[in-house]
Amino acid sequence: MGVITDNLDIWSQALVGTLVLFFAGGALALVLGIIVGAMRVSPVPIARGVGTFYVSAIRNTPLTLVFFAFVFALPPLLGLRLTGDVSLTLGICALGIYTATYVAEAIRSGVNTVPVGQAEAARALGLSFGQVMSLVVLPQAFRSVIPPMMSVFIALLKNTTVAAGFSIVNLGSVRNYLSERGENAFVVILWVMVIFVALVLLLSWVQRTLENRWRVAR
């Protein structure tokens, strides 16, 4: 326990770093993912093609490579100096762009779970594509999207640790700072694991609660 209480400053900084990466990356992923998910079910063939290309390209790219491209290759291109804030922003972009593909897939498969008759009935009433989606399909898809979406966010939480390899402060990089202070690396990493197991359990609990509250009543 001493490892934590003696170095509260570093642990709290690291926890804040992880939470910033998680929430900012998650928000970006959600916005981008909804756009791409909409593109993938839209009546515009070009938009569908672009969406499909984006998803299959990023899904076959390691997250570490996305981080590498953003943090090492982009700054010289844009003429940025690599300060702490810049690498944090780039890290958030990398996480968001990577996770957005999974969000888009979760949304698309959620739309697919709505029975065909619902959309058919809506069209029979003369609703347009926008109305079919916003009034009939999406409210129903939303419920079945919750469990896979939470799994995406649990994966995002674990993926924030990759930022540790790119000098962005988060729970994954605590070991660097604490080994400078002469702490036992083994104990430090065990504590990081405990924190992650606790955070993941927390998110799983949220997942179960939301799932029960919005269970599909069919």
Q: What is the per-residue burial (b if ≥16 Cβ within 10 Å, else e) of 107-131?
A: bbebbeebeeeebeebeeeebeeee
Least distance from another protein to the Cβ atom of residue 143, Å: 14
CB closer to another protein, 2 vs 45: 45
| DSSP annotation of 184 | -
Tell me the torsion sign for CA atoms 63, 80, 93, 18: positive
Number of shown-chain residues binding another protein (CB under 8 A): 63
Q: Does residue 217 belong to the site contacting another protein (CB under 8 A)?
A: no
| DSSP H or E stretch at residue 8 | helix 8-41
Least distance from another protein to the Cβ atom of residue 187, Å: 8
Q: Which stretch binds another protein (CB under 8 A): 6-14, 19-27, 43-51, 206-214?
A: 43-51
CA neighbor of 74 nearest in space, from 56, 86, 84, 85 = 86
Distance CA 19, CA 68 (A): 21
Residues contacting residue 110 through CB under 8 Å, at least 6 positions apart: 141, 142, 144, 145, 148
Distance CA 140, CA 39 (A): 19
CB closer to another protein, 16 vs 197: 197
What are the DSSP calls for 138-149, one per residue?
HHHHHHHHHHHH
Binding positions for another protein, 167-196, rule CB under 8 A: 171-172, 175, 179, 184-186, 188-190, 192-193, 196
Q: Applying CB under 8 A, which of residues 15, 63, 86, 206 lies at the interface with another protein?
A: 63
Q: Does residue 218 belong to the site contacting another protein (CB under 8 A)?
A: yes
Distance CA 102, CA 113 (A): 17
| DSSP annotation of 162 | G
CB closer to another protein, 150 vs 171: 171
Binding positions for another protein, 96-125, rule CB under 8 A: 111-112, 114-117, 119-120, 123
Least distance from another protein to the Cβ atom of residue 11, Å: 15
Q: Applying CB under 8 A, which of residues 13, 34, 52, 61 lies at the interface with another protein?
A: 61
The footprint of another protein (CB under 8 A) covers: 39, 41-47, 50, 56-57, 59-65, 68-69, 72-73, 76-79, 111-112, 114-117, 119-120, 123, 128-129, 132-133, 137, 158-159, 161-162, 164-165, 171-172, 175, 179, 184-186, 188-190, 192-193, 196-197, 200-201, 218
